[in-house]
Amino acid sequence: MSYAISYVSTVDKDVTENDIQNALDYSKSWNNDHDISGILLYSQGNFFQVLEGDKEVLKKLFSNIKNDKRHYDIIKIFEKEVPHVKFDTYQVDFISLDARFQHKDLHSYFSQIKSLNPAIQTSVKYILNKFTEGI
Ligand SMILES: Cc1cc2nc3c(=O)[nH]c(=O)nc-3n(C[C@H](O)[C@H](O)[C@H](O)COP(=O)(O)O)c2cc1C
């Protein structure tokens, strides 16, 4: 069994574009090293993150993330065990999404979801639709 956690949060008002980029870069490197997959999106003041991986590693990481002063109002969308599925091309990718990054091809975000565990794809797709609405 793998574990999956997803939440949305609000970026702190003192956080700069540089801080956000640092959080994205740090997450990408740490998660890659620890076999954690998922997505992290930033859009217009909000983060949306999905994390998949080992339960103990994820619980510890999520507790770090919750204490991170760069964001607040963390609203958990789900936290659950998911069947382990081994994908040949299991990818970790973190995506920045904001008006200042330009309106990139949203298809790429949705195709990224296909590398997530099927047990959470539907809810993530739904949230991603809502999250990107109007962009
Ligand atoms: C929105 C957001 C998402 C984050 N996601 C991750 C993540 O996926 N992986 C990670 O290692 N750190 C992530 N971080 C950074 C952690 O909150 C924290 O800084 C990191 O785990 C280092 O903690 P430490 O300094 O106590 O070791 C994120 C931070 C923010 C603000």
Alpha helices in 76-134 (DSSP H): 106-113, 118-132
The angle at the Cα of 60, spanning 33 to 31, to the nearest 5 degrees, equals 20
Atom index in ligand 1 nearest the CA of residue 47 equals: 1
| Tally of structural domains, the chain | 1
Q: How far apart are the CA of 27 and the centre of ligand 1, in A?
A: 6
In a domain, 102, yes or no: yes
Domain range holding 34? Answer: 2-124
> In sequence order, what are the residues at sequence separation of 6 or more whose Cβ sits closer than 8 angstroms to the Cβ of residue 93?
28, 39, 112, 115
Report pLDDT digits (tens) over 94-123: 665 555 544 555 666 777 777 778 878 888
Q: Does residue 134 form part of some domain?
A: no
Q: Is the pLDDT of residue 91 over 60?
A: no
State mean pLDDT over 26-54. Answer: 86
Asked if residue 86 has pLDDT above 60, the reply is: no
- Give the pLDDT confidence score for residue 56 in this predicted structure: 96
Answer whether 62's CB lies under 8 Å from 9's CB: no
- State the CATH number of the domain containing residue 49: 3.30.70.100
Pocket (CB within 6 angstroms of ligand 1): 23, 26-27, 30-31, 40, 47, 49, 51, 61, 64-65, 68, 70-71
The number of C-alpha atoms within 13 Å of 108 and in the hemisphere containing its C-beta is 9
135 belongs to a structural domain: no
Residue 133 lies in a domain: no
Query: Ligand 1 center to residue 68 CA distance, Å?
Result: 7
Do the domain assignments include residue 132? no
Atom in ligand 1 nearest the alpha carbon of residue 94: 8
User: Is 94 part of a structural domain of the chain?
Assistant: yes
The reported pLDDT for the residue numbered 57 is 95
The answer to whether residue 24 is domain-embedded is yes
Separation of alpha carbons 117 and 126, rounded Å: 15
